Amino acid sequence: MKLVIISGSVYGTADLVADEAACLANAAGLQATRMKTPSVDTLLAEHADALLVCCATTGMGEIPDNLMSFHIELRDRFPLFTDVPFGVIALGDTAYGDTFCLAGEQFRDTFEELQAREARSMLRLDASETVTPETDAEPWLADFFAALRAEV
Q: What is the pLDDT of residues 63-78, one digit of tens each?
A: 999 999 999 999 999 9
pLDDT score, position 113: 98
Would you say 91 and 125 are in contact if contact means Cβ atoms under 8 Å apart? yes
Kindly report, residue by residue over 39-62, the tens digit of the pLDDT.
999 999 999 999 999 999 998 899
pLDDT in tens, 81-108: 999 999 999 999 988 888 999 999 999 9
Nearest to 55 by CA among 84, 26, 89: 89
DSSP-based three-state secondary structure for 18: helix
Q: Name the amino acid, one letter, at 17.
A: V
Domains of the chain: 2-150 (3.40.50.360)
Whole-Å CA distances, 38 to 16, 65, 74, 139, 151: 17, 12, 11, 26, 26
How does pLDDT run across 94-150, given as a tens digit for each residue?
888 889 999 999 999 999 999 999 999 999 999 888 778 999 999 999 999 999 999
